[in-house]
Structure 1
Amino acid sequence: MGDLYALDFDGVLCDSCGESSLSAVKAAKVRWPRLFDGVEKPLEDWIVDQMHIVRPVVETGYENVLLVRLLLESQVPRVRTSSVAQGLTVEDILENWLKIKPVIMTEWEEVRDELIDLFGKVRDEWMDNDLATWIGANRFYPGIPDALKFASSKLYIVTTKQSRFADALLRELAGVSIPPERIYGLGTGPKVKVLKQLQDMPEHQGLTLHFVEDRLATLKNVIKEPELNEWNLYLGDWGYNTRKEREAAASIPRIQIIQLLDFSNKLK
């Protein structure tokens, strides 16, 4: 017997908010160059700071690009085209992102797949031109690299990040090599589908199943699937979630709130 851990990447293993925010600013400038004409560094810095606060709403990376533009429009009336941007606060975004996102996608006439491609391309170019700086804009949470290296459990990465970026960070920053077939990234389907695939593999029969996430909404999606009742579910309290979400999770019997040190010890 033994244990299988399916691990989210951003917010569980790696704090990538610095890199994703900077990449989103770069991508937004490519997508909407006229909006960013005359935007000075102090405002850009403010946007990046706010991105750290609103990061819990992001499910897939391209949403960072939308958030950058929305924050800009909330501050600069001359570029404002969205009906929701005036007077918008980060608290409004944290509370209402699922309602705001479809509105701005429609108003800005944006296409999800095009934004995903753009965000990936900007990251690829940054990596190609200056890998050290790109790597340096990320950090693994304390103790995680060693926990991954010395894990006695079977490990899988289940993330909405594009696999090549997760793989590069694991190798270059954490010094960890996880076989590509164990990294389920963007495009491999919803996480509930991946968890079903993992539990059905013949080599995993008899293993105790664990799924570690930092997004409460994702764990709730797992709970809705009776087929996934065998999974032990954990919400990492160090990741991209809010106190309100942690309090909500504490009231759900299926979910265990786990601290970083306990998580590292479990993997080992």
Structure 2
Amino acid sequence: MNDSTIYTLDFDGVICDSAIETAITGWKAGTTIWNDMPETAPQAIVEQFREVRPIIETGYEAILIIRLMYLGKSTAAIYANYAAKVQRMLDEIHLSIDDLKKLFGETRDNWIANNRANWIAMNPLYPGVAEKLRRLGQRHVWCVITTKQERFVKEILGANNIELAGERIFGMDRKLSKPEVLKGLKAQYPGRQIYFIEDRLPALEGVQKHPELADVKLFFALWGYNLAADHSAAAGQAIVLQQLDTFLSDSLGAV
């Protein structure tokens, strides 16, 4: 194995196109809070969710966004003063963020228990990514750094015949920020180049705020959940704008 470069990848929006599953899980969870919502999510709302997906940092937010969509809010309206809308909804339903995280995870667990094949089908990997990760694993150390709960990452990777040791999946369970995970990896692999591949520009900019991570090479996954405005904002920064075909072609490194 060539350990010269450590590859760290976000999961949703880089490895897995989970937008539909996240929308449906958000809807299922929402029906337990608001009894006026029907059992099945309308297809139009599921499709609209993809437009709003770039604003989400952690999955539980899907519960609130789905509710806003059900109430008829447009994509533009949801983006406007988003943080304030989230806080107002939390106040109205008298639930904490931890409560919603628990509900979101349990809703996924129930879906998996009742119909694992359907849940997996709603979490497809981006075309070519499974093969890329298998090649990566033959020659490099690679890790997942995500806000997703780790058991769900393990389920999806396993279903796609991708081997990754549990200690290399850094999810919500660790209660560490992405910069904190990267600092830990730098300490674990001193002197090694670290690549961080992420589809959310705020996450990449968050890494840039830590001088000790200045030598981490940042890649912006344009195939994920981001907007044209994000692409423009990233241009000129010390961030590599990366298309999926370039990532798959192994141009990030000698893989």
Give 2:170's aligned residue: 184
Which residue identity lines up with residue 182 of structure 1 in the other structure? R
Give 1:60's aligned residue: 58
Task: Find 2:13's aligned residue among 3, 11, 14.
Answer: 11
Q: Report the TM-score, using the length of structure 2 for normalisation.
A: 0.92
Within 5 A, what are the aligned runs for 1:89-104?
89-104=74-89
Equivalent position SS for 2:231: helix
Within 5 A, what are the aligned runs for 1:120-199?
120-151=105-136, 152-172=139-159, 174-188=160-174, 189-199=176-186
Maintained 8 Å contact 2:16/2:126: yes
Equivalent position SS for 2:143: strand
Q: Which moved more, 1:107-116 or 1:132-141?
A: 107-116
Which residue identity lines up with residue 176 of structure 1 in the other structure? I
Q: Report the TM-score, using the length of structure 1 for normalisation.
A: 0.88
Maintained 8 Å contact 1:209/1:232: yes
Which residue identity lines up with residue 233 of structure 1 in the other structure? L
CA distance in 2, matches of 1:96, 1:56: 15
Equivalent position SS for 1:238: coil
Shift of 1:23: 0.9
Give 1:82's aligned residue: none
- Shift in CA distance, 70/228, structure 1 to aligned 2, threshold 3 Å: same
Q: CA RMSD in A?
A: 1.5
Maintained 8 Å contact 2:13/2:225: yes
What are the superposed Cα offsets for residues 224-248 of structure 1, whole Å, 9 maximum, x if unpaired? Answer: 1111111001110100000001110
Shift of 1:50: 1.2
Which residue identity lines up with residue 79 of structure 2 in the other structure? L
CA distance in 1, matches of 2:51, 2:141: 33
Within 5 A, what are the aligned runs for 1:1-268?
2-32=4-34, 34-36=35-37, 39=38, 44-73=42-71, 75=72, 88-151=73-136, 152-172=139-159, 174-188=160-174, 189-201=176-188, 204-252=189-237, 254-264=238-248, 265=250, 266=252, 268=255
The alignment of Structure 1 onto Structure 2 pairs a total of residues equal to 247
What are the superposed Cα offsets for residues 117-148 of structure 1, whole Å, 9 maximum, x if unpaired? Answer: 11111111111111100000111111100111
CA distance in 1, matches of 2:25, 2:205: 29
Maintained 8 Å contact 2:68/2:78: no
Equivalent position SS for 2:32: helix
User: Could you list the runs of 5+ residues in structure 1 that have no partner in the other structure?
Assistant: 76-87
Q: Please identify runs of 4+ aligned residues in structure 1 that moved more than 4 A.
A: none
Equivalent position SS for 2:172: coil
Equivalent position SS for 1:10: coil
User: Could you list the runs of 5+ residues in structure 2 that have no partner in the other structure?
Assistant: none
Equivalent position SS for 2:162: coil
Which residue identity lines up with residue 29 of structure 2 in the other structure? A
Shift of 1:69: 0.9
Shift of 1:52: 1.0
Q: Which moved more, 1:158-167 or 1:64-73?
A: 64-73
